[in-house]
């Protein structure tokens, strides 16, 4: 096998991919998604991206949700937990989603 293993490089490539996907989604969609995430974070102690998807239209680049989640984390709205739950979205085939903890919940 010719596969390389380098965790710092893997993280850098992940960040590059998230940035590229985020830039591919239009700015208006990103703003709508972040506002939806803010509402969700105020009303729930924990949530997943499924909760955000229920509140926003599909963008041309669905992977842009990762950039929205990281922006919310940077703004202090939420933080990732070590817990995962299965996605309810049929197109996601019940894949695991990270559970996020709200830092805004009432």
Q: What is the pTM of this model?
A: 0.85
Contact 40, 50 (CB under 8 A): no
- Output Rg (C-alpha) for the chain, integer angstroms: 15
Domain count, the chain: 1
Residue 1: what pLDDT? 56
Report yes or no on 1 lying in a domain. Answer: no
Q: What is the mean pLDDT of residues 64-81?
A: 95
Residue 106: what pLDDT? 66
Q: How far apart (Å, rounded) are the C-alpha atoms in residues 70 and 20?
A: 13
Residue closest to 80 by CA, chosen among 96, 103, 65, 100: 100
- The proportion of the chain whose per-residue pLDDT surpasses 70, expressed as a percent, equals 97
pLDDT in tens, 10-41: 999 998 998 888 887 889 999 999 999 999 99
Query: Which domain range does residue 33 map to?
Result: 7-102
Helix axis angle, 7-24 to 65-74, nearest 10°: 110
């Amino acid at each position: 096998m010719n596969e390389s293993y380098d965790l710092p490089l893997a993280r850098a490539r992940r960040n590059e991919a998230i940035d590229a996907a985020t830039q591919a989604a239009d700015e208006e969609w990103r703003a709508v998604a972040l506002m939806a995430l803010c509402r969700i974070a105020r009303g729930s102690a924990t949530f997943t991206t499924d909760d955000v998807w229920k509140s926003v239209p599909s963008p041309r680049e669905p992977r842009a949700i990762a950039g929205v989640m990281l922006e919310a984390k940077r703004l202090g709205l939420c933080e990732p937990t070590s817990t995962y739950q299965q996605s309810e979205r049929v197109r996601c085939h019940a894949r695991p989603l990270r559970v996020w903890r709200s830092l805004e919940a009432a």
